């Protein structure tokens, strides 16, 4: 049951990285504090000894709440760069 994978791979990490940001005030493209609300489901695989390994984490919903430029300390001038090229 738990071993079944989605064919298109809805794994953790697939939903992030497609959107990039740019600070219009300072030109920053690489340093942001991003606050995200993320609802996930994962297979928690415990060993007999109690060690946890999280497997097959799937993002059910994700909402970016705030993006702040690290250099300016504010998100007022941060824009989304939609293409995700590079």
Given a contact cutoff of 8 angstroms between Cβ atoms, the answer to whether 25 and 68 are in contact is: no
8-67 positions binding Zn ion, by CB under 5 A: 23, 25-26, 28
d(CA 10, CA 24): 32
Q: What are phi and psi for residue 39, nearest 5 degrees?
A: -105, 120
Cα distances from 54 to residues 18, 39, 70, in angstroms, run 23, 15, 31
Q: Using CB under 5 A, pick the residue from 11, 20, 22, 71 that binds Zn ion.
A: 71
Closest to Zn ion by CB, 15 vs 19, is 19
What is the nearest approach in angstroms of Zn ion to the Cβ of residue 25? 5
Nearest CB to Zn ion, comparing residues 23 and 59: 23
The residues that touch Zn ion, with contacts defined as CB under 5 A, are: 23, 25-26, 28, 69, 71-72
């Amino acid at each position: 049951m738990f071993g079944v994978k989605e064919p298109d791979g809805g794994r953790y990490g697939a939903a992030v990285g497609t959107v990039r940001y740019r600070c219009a005030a300072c030109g920053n493209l690489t340093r942001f504090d991003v606050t995200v609300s993320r609802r996930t489901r994962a297979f928690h695989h415990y060993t007999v000894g109690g060690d946890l390994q999280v497997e097959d984490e799937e993002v059910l919903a994700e909402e970016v709440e705030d993006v702040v430029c690290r250099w300016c300390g504010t998100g007022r001038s941060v824009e989304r760069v939609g293409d995700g090229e590079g």
